[in-house]
Amino acid sequence: MKNRSTVNAMASSIATGAIDSVTPTSPAVEHRTADSTNRNLYSSAEESIFAEDKARSDRPATLMLPNGLQVVMIPDHRAPVVTQMIWYKVGSADEPAGKSGLAHFLEHLMFKGTTKHQADEFSQTVLRVGGNQNAFTGRDYTSYFQHVPREQLGKMMEFEADRMTGLILKDRDVLSERDVVLEEYNMRVANRPDARLVEQMMAALYLNHPYGHPVIGWRQEIENLDREDALAFYKRFYAPNNAILIIAGDVKVSEVRPMVERNFGGIPPQPSIPAERLRPQEPTPAAPRTVTLADPRVEQPALRRLYLVPSARTATAGESPALEVLCKLMGGGINSYLYRALVIDRRLAISAWTRYSATAIDLSQFEISATPKPGVELGQLDCAIDETVADIAHNSPQAEDFERVKTQLIAQAIYAHDNLEELATWYGGGLTTGLSIDDVRGWSDSIRAVRAEQVLEASRKWLDKKRSVTGYLTKATSKHTEKRS
């Protein structure tokens, strides 16, 4: 619905082109599982934990309803509040051809009311009880959450279960909301050259996979989305056997279980939900690509590069944690190698950073970004980045840098436990992209286990220029022009 706006979330959303829609702000979850959508993800032994309340640091309690709804409970009794998040295993990469933006459009329409509740009644109730709420769409998931006083959980769950199947859409509401989304498109993409560059780069990076489509959609396709499209998509994907419910906060497992059964238990599963989410895959990349976006509104030229790399799900054992460490070592702050090389030593840039998204069902991205100093050509910066990448790939990191970076990553994961929403997002993002609870919980251990050779190997294997798209953002001197080669 409306966007969240933490700095991390924004960086992440811009970087991946997920516009309104925000990807998890927590450190990306790690490790891989064999099967992304196996509904027997939780064994019966795990289910038995549900019978007792566990301390916050323990394994979350889990439950699977007979209709396929996965429930994850994270008790935390430090404050009398609770976060309810429902994650649907559907995102922009699941949209039918020609209907880009549909997952995000439906996310907006989910606030339009049901047979039982008027439009915006849910939102108004959240506000009235002093809570807050939001929703976001990514390439692999759509999520809705409310953060409320603990005694309001039953009411929140009633609303959320009701709109899983009870949505009513009127043409009038659908058309006005489409205008809202088009306005959002203008604000977040059309009027922002940096976001447009990322949109173009993602399309060039993914030659075959639907990750190349922007989450918000291509404008001419958003313009044609209608009520029938939204309802068909809703009926196909919104069902208990395609959802994960996460409850984090000051509640007892013994209270939540009957509440979940009462509200969601009667909703029938959708038999058409596929066991696996299969999308067209990428061919082996054969050529580096360059995209130049020139716009008169650009005040600050910039260079970005995206490499096609494994996600936590598609990586072989240890590879995704090695990419996490590589990312932090290379561009995580002023002590990072890229920053030192470009900003401090060679004085070509005023900033430099990297980003790796592990949370994806299919192949993901590793990003390098730099802002040139005035007077420095982007081509010059591009060459310097190539040299730095080659340097990192052939020289073992300093032991102290290597340990520092691992400690920072692990600390970040520990801090995520201090924020209910972040913790729930961490689990939701992992579970909807094919990881298990143990994968998510074991993230810190997997980082701890990374060896320097693995980092070198990951950089040599994946930061291969043939796997990349480099984007130049430049100021157009004449009228608005764009070139893509």
Q: Return residues touching Zn ion (CB under 5 A).
A: 20, 184
Q: How far is the CB of 135 from Zn ion (least distance, A)?
A: 8
Q: Which is nearer to Zn ion, 79 or 175 (CB)?
A: 175
Q: Which is nearer to Zn ion, 20 or 295 (CB)?
A: 20
Structure tokens at 434: 């094919």
Q: How far is the CB of 14 from Zn ion (least distance, A)?
A: 15
From residue 375, alpha-carbon distances to 44, 341, 349, 476 in Å are 63, 18, 10, 16
Q: Counting every residue, how long is the chain?
A: 485
Q: How far is the CB of 60 from Zn ion (least distance, A)?
A: 29
From residue 212, alpha-carbon distances to 119, 217, 371, 474 in Å are 33, 10, 24, 22
Cβ atoms of residues 27 and 443 within 8 Å: yes
Following DSSP, what letter does each residue of 218-252 receive, concatenated?
Answer: -HHHHTT--HHHHHHHHHHH-SGGGEEEEEEES--
Q: How far is the CB of 200 from Zn ion (least distance, A)?
A: 21
Nearest residue relative to Zn ion (C-beta): 20
Phi-psi region of 277 (alpha: psi -120 to 50; beta: other; left: phi over 0): beta
For tokens 């993409």, what's the residue? 189
Q: Which is nearer to Zn ion, 20 or 421 (CB)?
A: 20
From the candidates 30, 46, 95, 107, give the one annotated as an active-site residue. Answer: 107
**Residues of the chain by 3-state class (helix, strand, coil), percent to 5:** 45, 15, 40
Strands 142-149 and 289-295: unpaired
Cβ atoms of residues 6 and 25 within 8 Å: yes
Q: How far is the CB of 428 from Zn ion (least distance, A)?
A: 18
Contacts of 289 (CB under 8 A, 6+ apart): 204, 205, 468, 469, 470, 485
Q: Which is nearer to Zn ion, 30 or 184 (CB)?
A: 184
Q: Which is nearer to Zn ion, 179 or 377 (CB)?
A: 179
Q: How far is the CB of 2 from Zn ion (least distance, A)?
A: 7
Structure tokens at 381: 């910066």
Structure tokens at 76: 């935390």
- Residue 183 known to be catalytic: no
Structure tokens at 359: 């949370």
What is the three-state SS of 154-188? HHHHHHHHHHHHCECCCHHHHHHHHHHHHHHHHHH
For tokens 């979330």, what's the residue? 9
Q: Which is nearer to Zn ion, 184 or 229 (CB)?
A: 184
Q: How far is the CB of 216 from Zn ion (least distance, A)?
A: 7
Q: Which is nearer to Zn ion, 136 or 238 (CB)?
A: 136
Active centre residues (catalytic): 107
